[in-house]
Amino acid sequence: MSTYYVTTPIYYVNARPHLGHAYTTIIADTLKRFYSLLGTDARMLTGTDEHGDKIVKAAIKENKSPKEFVDGISAEYKALWQDLKIDYDQFIRTTDENHKKSVQALLQKIYDKGDIYFGEYGGHYCFGCERFYTEKELEDGLCPQHKTKPEYISEKNYFFKMSKYQDWLKQYILDNPDFIRPERYRNEVLAMLEGNVLEDLCISRPKSRLEWGIELPFDKDYVCYVWFDALANYISALGWGNEDNSQNFEKYWPASHLVAKDILKPHGIFWPTMLKAADLPIYQNLNVHGYWLVKDTKMSKSLGNVVDPRFAAEYFGLDAFRYFLLRDMHFGSDASYSEENLISRINSDLANDLGNLFSRVLSMNAKYFAKKVPSLGTLTADDENIFSCVQNAAQNYLQLFKEVRFSQGLDGLWEPIRLMNKYVDSQAPWTLYKEGNIERLGTVLRVLLENMYKIAVLLWPVMPDSSIKMQEQLGKKFTLHAKLIDDLLNCNVHLRTDFEISEASNLFPRFEKPVEEKKEEKVKKEKKSENKKDIVQETQLIEFADFQKLDLRVGTILTAEQHPDADKLLKFEVDLGEEKPRQIISGIAKFFNPTELIGQKVVVVANLPPRKLRGLESQGMILTAEKGEHLSLLSSVAPNGSKIA
């Protein structure tokens, strides 16, 4: 595939952007970057839909003209995409003059073919959907989308002979299994075609009722139906219908469309029959996703549960937010959004797995090889297994992303990340260093560094900024080129031996509690503080002999890393001046970045009996000082092994 053209729906500007809009647009941005990574000339389109009844009503409500109103809301979408770093190539508006010309050219072409006729129609019209419904389509007499009773309207209008293409569309869908995906939505469209005789589509509105729209080229008393107008944006953006600017249409069409499930019918039935009637190539794919739910309920302004994507991206980090959206929604199904889910995903996948891998490997390389990339020696079966696992995961990831199965692709890519963390533990670089086995130590770290680089490159479509930073930490500058992925998969060596790389990485900080939960706790604390009056806390007294029982020793932290099986625990090796370092497990992970603790002096309770914490033995306790929500390590300038008395 030499070119790839991905589109979002153009968003209706009767309301401001929310999480659902951001999700679709981030998916489109990810797909554009993904195909660019594969060496394809990729193009992305987004924009706003600005005609119709609802726009006029919303403008009146805000005491503005329709044009003033749409200019303001459209600008909000553009501003949000800028904040979310969306790399679109074109932002189209249905009020653009070039778009109007394309729509009129499409109408005229279908009209000249004889597939548009004038007639009278009476039907149930939903002003929220801006379309007529048949009796069969209503649910208990109500609009299936808005749950309101439509108004019965009888008027003369222009109609598109959509019914003429029912059998063709059904057969086209059957012959092209990937035309509508996931499969559940393909089956849903087939059910629409099999269960009902496809009716002709009313494509006009009389100016006596609505003037805010594109005028029909063959009748000045009518404007175009908003859906016919909106769907044409996908080709008008490429210059179709404008003879002087149609080269992009020849280059990039057909498109791969992204839509939410509530607009399946217009895109799955209206649009392909319109293209067929105009003798234009049919789009490549229709990719349909579900809803983001908040507490199992679809987001709604009236319910007050609309998620602000800008806040989530700013507070948690844009790349972490992008990762969560792609990882937690199985494309096509609904997904649940909450700050708890977002924090859990960030902490488990990004902080504990990917972040911990980069942090511990870079810090060990800095310690053992003075930040220089070590040589790759003879590979063992364990080493080969790492390369093989990354290779297989990468190939599956690439295939699954082509199938818009983002969650499964990322889940598979995380398998080698977790395996590499286990590989660190099993190979024990610190032991190899103590034993003087420097050649083997270098090979272990080089195996990790090379495969970390591969993972970093593959993650660029999902987390572009973090991917580039990870590559820079490994001494590589990210540059797109046609053979990038082929080179990545067909070669095991990408880093330069003896090249200096970063000594630390802290790209994915952990988060403690949801913002809302913190706010509630703050309010509770303030109320509790107000109610406290003359409360004296009594300190329990102990005998001096009890204190004498404690063996408090000064030590230096040699290594610090995340416990492999516990989010809250860190694993330390501490030099207490003894024959070998002590392994100490401490529940302070949420307060410290482990790499920043290496080399720090601490005070240890050295005479506690050993105990196992999540499978690892702890031979002492590091002392800390706590004030409010802040935690500090007790320290001393005394030599290692000094006893505090």
Which residue out of 18, 32, 454, 476 is catalytically annotated?
A: 18
User: Known catalytic residue: 568?
Assistant: no
DSSP 496: P
Burial readout 338-377 (b: 16 or more C-beta within 10 A, e: otherwise): ebeebbebbbebbbbbbbbbbbbbbbbbbbbbebbbbebb
Q: Which of 298, 330, 372, 568 is catalytic?
A: 298
3-state DSSP percent of the chain in helix, strand and coil, to 5: 45, 20, 35
Backbone φ and ψ for 116, nearest 5 degrees, come out as -125, 130
- 605 by DSSP, 3-state: which? strand
Q: In angstroms, rounded to a whole number, what is the distance separating the alpha carbons of residues 70 and 72?
A: 5
DSSP per residue, 410-471 = HHHHHHHHHHHHHHHHHH-HHHHHHTT-HHHHHHHHHHHHHHHHHHHHHTTTTSHHHHHHHH
Give how far the C-alpha of residue 18 lies from the chain's centroid of Cα atoms, to the nearest Å.
14
Q: Which residue among the candidates 21, 124, 276, 563 is catalytic per the annotation?
A: 21
At 503, list the tokens: 């000594």
- Helix axes 183-195 and 166-175, enclosed angle (nearest 10): 150
The catalytically annotated residue of 67, 113, 146, 156 is 146
Q: Catalytic annotation on 99?
A: no
Q: Which one is catalytic: 51, 101, 126, 571?
A: 126
Give strand pairing partners of 151. 125
Q: Does residue 389 have an active-site annotation? A: no
CA separation for the pair 466, 472 (Å, rounded)? 10
3-state secondary structure 467-483: HHHHHHHCCCCCCCCCC
CB 515 within 8 A of CB 339: yes
Question: Taking the mean position of all CA atoms in its chain, how far away is CA 215?
Answer: 39
Tell me, yes or no, if 224 is annotated catalytic: no
State yes or no: is 454 an active-site residue. Answer: no
Question: Which candidate in 57, 61, 156, 301 is catalytic?
Answer: 301
CB 55 within 8 A of CB 72: no
220 an active-site residue? no
The residue annotated as part of the active site, out of 51, 99, 143, 571, is 143
Largest CA distance in the chain: 103
* Total Cβ atoms within 10 A of residue 616: 16
Would you call 202 a catalytic residue per the annotation?
no
Q: Is 548 exposed, middle or buried (0-12, 13-18, 19+ CB in 10 A)?
A: exposed
Tell me which amino acid residue 275 is: L
User: Is 481 one of the catalytic residues?
Assistant: no
Q: Contact at 8 Å (CB) between 223 and 212?
A: yes
Would you name the residues annotated as active-site residues? 18, 21, 126, 129, 143, 146, 298, 301
